[in-house]
């Protein structure tokens, strides 16, 4: 997967792929007619609502919300199976589709998390560089201390030049 795009948006291709798989999951729930589908109508409606939540999160480039909605779907599915509202065959079919959706959403989320970590690292490096430049600039603008002349020690030549005699 490609990293997140500028502005915090996830790759369109990965998001579209996750949304497509979510729609396939919805398709596996859609056959809830009177024939023996292995899924009672009330359970089908409830699970379809959960699938819509997964689809909307995937389409909205929010893989974390999609994964949370998928968790809720799986919990509702387990409860419906426990009540005898979903056959084991239909449960397996739904769980297979849910696993594919989970893998896609997890990949999108991992790519987004990696991109966010890289952006944070780059921002920290820029901030560190700016701080170092500011410190160097401040050090350069401090006025140097002028050299203080030392007083004469009285050992001058008092107007006598080299090589002159006093005679």
Contact 90, 30 (CB under 8 A): no
What pLDDT was estimated at residue 81?
Answer: 95
Q: Which CATH architecture has domain 12-126?
A: Up-down Bundle (1.20)
CA angle 18, 9, 66 (to 5 degrees): 35
Mean pLDDT of 63-87: 94
What pLDDT was estimated at residue 31?
Answer: 47
Contact 23, 76 (CB under 8 A): no
Structure tokens at 1: 């997967």
What pLDDT was estimated at residue 163?
Answer: 59
What is the average pLDDT value for the chain, to the nearest integer? 78
What pLDDT was estimated at residue 15?
Answer: 58
Place of tokens 């401090």: 142
What pLDDT was estimated at residue 126?
Answer: 92
DSSP string across 37-99? -SB-HHHHHHHHHHHHHHHHHHHTT-HHHHHHHHHHHHHHHHHHHHTTSB-HHHHHHHHHHHH
What Rg do the C-alpha atoms of the chain give, in angstroms?
37
Give pTM, 2 decimals. 0.58
Place of tokens 């500028």: 6
């Amino acid at each position: 997967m490609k990293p997140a795009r500028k502005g915090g948006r996830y790759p369109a291709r990965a998001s579209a792929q996750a949304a497509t798989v979510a729609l396939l999951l919805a398709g596996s729930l859609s056959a809830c007619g009177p024939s023996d589908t292995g899924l009672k109508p009330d359970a089908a409606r409830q699970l379809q609502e959960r699938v819509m939540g997964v689809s909307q999160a995937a389409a909205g480039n929010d893989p974390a919300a999609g994964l949370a909605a998928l968790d809720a779907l799986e919990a509702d599915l387990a409860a419906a199976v426990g009540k005898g509202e979903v056959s084991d065959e239909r449960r397996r079919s739904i769980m297979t589709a849910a696993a594919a959706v989970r893998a896609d959403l997890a990949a999108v989320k991992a790519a987004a998390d990696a991109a966010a970590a890289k952006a944070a690292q780059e921002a920290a490096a820029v901030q560190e560089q700016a701080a170092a430049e500011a410190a160097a600039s401040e050090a350069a603008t401090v006025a140097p201390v002028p050299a203080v002349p030392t007083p004469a020690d009285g050992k001058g030549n008092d107007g006598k030049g080299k090589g002159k005699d006093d005679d």
